[in-house]
Amino acid sequence: MHTKKRYTAFEMAMWTRYETLLFFAISAVWVAAFFFLKIDWLKIPWTPLALIGTAVAFVIGFQNNSAYGRIWEARKIWGGIVNTSRTFGMFLQDMVTNEYADKKVPEERLHEEIRILTYRHIAWMTALRHAMRERKPWETILQQRTDREWGLIPPEMEAKLEDDLEPYISQQDLEHVLKKSNKQTALLYLQSHHLRRLKEEGAVWEFSFLQLEGVLQELFTLQGKSERIKNFPYPRHFATLNHFFMWVFVLLLPLALVPQFAEIGETVKETYPIVGKFFIWLTIPFYVIVSWIFHTMERIGRTGENPFEGSANDVPISTIARGIEIDLRQNLGESDVDIPKQFPVKNHTQF
């Protein structure tokens, strides 16, 4: 989700503190073993480890680029929903008229038809954002302890779909939609049927009807693109193997790093005996830094794989949908008292 400020060093440290403590423990155990047990023979050369590290770095870079691409595509899709929704609201107000009607329709009824169509569009956005927040087996970011600590719970996880749809559509439409597996598709079908009835009554000119149907077609396209990202995850063989490769590198790193610092310590000992004797303990901060960088970069990639999951860096579809609703209802002439407020920002994060 979009954050209003950059992550501070403290927040990043808190987000990864458990892994950092684990890296500290791993390095401390190896250093202590080398220092007290004199197991100098237990080591591996740098060359194979450097090859592993290079491969892991490439795979992590590929994962991060792919994850960013998914986030950026999702943001463009919902940006398209914003523009198309505003266009739809404008078309409704200017195309549902008596201009070409053989039998004039009362203005009050025209306003009511526009309101029903607009509210049903808001219901469509509501159904779509609920569908995007549904849990998938591969979405596990919010199950991690440090992510739960932020208390980032999207609005869709605190409300039922039927309760969110009820204010926008009739009871008959609500019962019809809830029977369908794809609620948002069912709502767009109802929109098309409604527009056809208005066209048959003469309240919508035939050319205007085609333009309005074109807008619905675009909404179907944007919906399908959004569903594609939601339902097709980042390839799991890449994600899983990358995670394992990273840990293989992190666990093998002490076998090369600790002996290297021990050798440097022996060299230093000739000039500075005390410094040289304990120089091996400097392995700990260097190991923690290297391991933290590799792990954090890999974790950043994992958090961006599913841009609708509801984590801190995902696309704020709830905020986007509510912003469109506010725009549409204000342009209907409703008072600010009747229009719902924007979803609150929690921990500097929009949902």
CB 242 within 8 A of CB 221: no
Contacts of 298 by beta carbon, 8 Å cutoff, 6+ apart: 60, 63, 242, 243, 246
Instruction: Flag whether pLDDT at 4 surpasses 60.
Output: no
Give 117-176 pLDDT, tens digit per residue. 999 999 999 999 999 999 888 887 777 776 666 677 889 988 999 999 999 999 999 999
Instruction: Flag whether pLDDT at 100 surpasses 80.
Output: yes
The whole-number average pLDDT for the span 309-317 is 86
Instruction: Flag whether pLDDT at 240 surpasses 90.
Output: no
How sure is the predictor about 216, in pLDDT bands with cuts at 50, 70 and 90? very high
Amino acid at 113: E
* Whole-number Cα distances in Å, 104 to 72, 91, 108: 47, 19, 12
The whole-number average pLDDT for the span 320-343 is 95
pLDDT of residue 2: 44
CA distance linking residue 281 with residue 279, whole number of Å: 5
> What percentage of residues in the chain have a pLDDT greater than 70?
95
Pairwise pLDDT comparison (43 vs 224), residue with the higher score:
224
* Whole-number Cα distances in Å, 173 to 209, 225, 249, 303, 332: 22, 25, 56, 37, 21
pLDDT of residue 139: 82
Instruction: Flag whether pLDDT at 348 surpasses 80.
Output: no
The domain spans of the chain are 9-331
Instruction: Flag whether pLDDT at 256 surpasses 60.
Output: yes
How sure is the predictor about 304, in pLDDT bands with cuts at 50, 70 and 90? confident
* Whole-number Cα distances in Å, 267 to 33, 257, 275, 277: 20, 16, 10, 10
The whole-number average pLDDT for the span 37-54 is 88
The whole-number average pLDDT for the span 37-55 is 88
Per-state percent for the chain, helix, strand, coil, to nearest 5? 70, 0, 25
The whole-number average pLDDT for the span 191-198 is 97
CB 239 within 8 A of CB 43: no
